[in-house]
Amino acid sequence: MEHHSKHGQWSSQWAFIFATSSAAIGLGNIWKFPYITGVNGGGAFVLVYLICVAILGVPIMIAEIMIGRRARLNPANAMKQIAIQSKCRPQWGMVGGLTVLAAFLILSYYSVIAGWALDYVVQSIRGSFYLANAEVVSQLFNNLVSNPWRVTFWHTVMMLSIIVVVTLGVERGLERSMRYMLPSMFVLLLIVIFYAIHTGFFKEGFEFLFYLKFENLTSQGVLIALGHAFFTLSLATGSIMMYGAYVPRYVYIPFAAIMITLADTVTALMAGLAIFPIVFANGLEPSSGPGLIFQTLPLAFGHMSFGLFFASLFFIMVVFAGFLSAVSLLEPPVAWIIENYKLKRSKATLLVGVSTWLLGFGTIFSFNIASDFKLLGKNFFELLDHVTANFMLPIGGLLIALFAAWKMKKSFVIEEINHNQGIAYQLLYFILGYITPIAISIVLLNSIGLLAIF
Ligand code: PHE
């Protein structure tokens, strides 16, 4: 076994926790979580999401980091190598391949949405939101997404910057860019929460987020909550396994996984607390969809002192958070190409980057010229998001869990969990081996109507 990945290594346990938290915390927390919570009726949805994060997310994250560190290769080759060493079929590598494909597909729309946020940085600096009302703000959003040229420009800027960072490689490129990001993000979210309290509708926002109204929850909602737990923790996309490949030996993986999950979850809940009071204070609909944060936050910033300054800073943070996640989405396909086709990092990055950029047009056009082009009632963006987050990720996660619990050599797991066979180890086996496969199968089968449990 190699002791270092050929792509580099994190400099310490906290560097790894920070890096992986920054990869995990992204548009999923600030953009997606609030809007899907809004669409799916609030509290009960949030509860299912939290349960999925705690019970399914943490163990799968541990499994992914473990596999990544053990093999120190890209996800497809990592699973293949460990399968061979554990005397099972090398085809398990295809599971890693599936996750790499999911990363590629997700990145194509992720960069477009991060591009929207980039446009909002410029609009904030220009003062477009100053004293704007709900109508003006939603007009500003529509002007942006209905203009394919403008969105293409920002999508291109995003993809180019991601390509540059990934070309530079792990330590030089990534660690440096994230040191200040997370702390500033927390502070800015707190500022918006203070504003949200000041609107007088904090209670309504809080209740929407935490009061359990099970009548609002549908089987699709449960599926979306499950998919989002994977999406927000960057699971089953190769991203965590890839970052795991750079983890030093002395890091205690369960601790790291719990810290990363906590940071991610707290950020999502803070985003919810920041956004929903503003929604209710302005008579907006929580279920307005992907434009939610772009139609609510400017209202807050437009009416607070130093709003222009905070708005610029906030959207810069959103861009940054999105950017670091995007970097972690590009990394698995790039490492996969480097290892399998012996291409140079720069060439592989360019190849994947340009392909993702092209695919991104599907999402760009979903909000303008191709908005009526629908399959199964969904436009291209919705379909891509649905297939990746709600099917590819849970299925990938299920297979990773089965692999770690039933296929991977026990001695490998014991070594990766610091030679400790105590309660954490037992629990891990039980959850990965039984709970995860059963729970994911039930939710999936139920959502496609093959089981009618809820
Ligand atoms: N977890 C990221 C977010 O919440 C998105 C992401 C998914 C990043 C998968 C990497 C891999 O925004």
Take atom 11 of ligand 1 and give the residue whose Cα is closest.
234
Give the whole-angstrom CA distance, residue 16 versus residue 256.
8
Whether the CA torsion 178, 183, 186, 190 is positive or negative: it is: negative
1-50, pLDDT tens digit by residue? 344 555 567 778 888 898 889 889 999 999 999 999 999 999 999 999 99
Token duo for residue 264 = 């991610």
Q: Could you tell me if 325 and 27 are in contact, meaning their C-beta atoms sit under 8 angstroms apart? A: yes
Q: Which residue has tokens 């960072």?
A: 165
For residue 111 and ligand 1, the question of a CB distance below 6 A is answered with no
For residue 27 and ligand 1, the question of a CB distance below 6 A is answered with yes
Give the whole-angstrom CA distance, residue 76 versus residue 41.
38
pTM of this prediction? 0.94
Q: What percent of the chain has pLDDT over 70?
A: 96
In this prediction, the residues of the chain whose per-residue pLDDT falls under 70 are 1-8, 169-178
Q: How far is the CA of 351 from the centre of ligand 1 (A)?
A: 21
Chain centroid to CA 378: how far? 21
Give the pLDDT score at 1.
38
Give the whole-angstrom CA distance, residue 45 versus residue 180.
32
For residue 232 and ligand 1, the question of a CB distance below 6 A is answered with yes
Take atom 7 of ligand 1 and give the residue whose Cα is closest.
234
* C-beta neighbour count of 84 within 10 angstroms: 13
Q: Could you tell me if 452 and 83 are in contact, meaning their C-beta atoms sit under 8 angstroms apart? A: no
DSSP state of 3: S
Q: Indicate the top mutation candidate among 31, 101, 174, 237 to test ligand 1's pocket, ranked by most ligand atoms within 8 A of CB.
A: 237
Q: Indicate the top mutation candidate among 29, 116, 234 to test ligand 1's pocket, ranked by most ligand atoms within 8 A of CB.
A: 234
Token duo for residue 250 = 């002395």
Q: How far is the CA of 388 from the centre of ligand 1 (A)?
A: 12
Say whether 266 sits in a helix, a strand or coil.
helix
Residue 326's identity, in one-letter code, is A
Token duo for residue 24 = 């995990």
Q: Could you tell me if 8 and 312 are in contact, meaning their C-beta atoms sit under 8 angstroms apart? A: no
Q: Indicate the top mutation candidate among 107, 239, 264 to test ligand 1's pocket, ranked by most ligand atoms within 8 A of CB.
A: 239
Give the pLDDT score at 216.
92
* C-beta neighbour count of 277 within 10 angstroms: 28
Give the whole-angstrom CA distance, residue 217 versus residue 30.
22
Give the whole-angstrom CA distance, residue 117 versus residue 112.
9
Token duo for residue 433 = 């081996």
Residue 449's identity, in one-letter code, is G
Token duo for residue 59 = 């163990």
Give the pLDDT score at 174.
59
Give the whole-angstrom CA distance, residue 247 versus residue 282.
46
Give the whole-angstrom CA distance, residue 408 versus residue 80.
11
Q: How far is the CA of 421 from the centre of ligand 1 (A)?
A: 31
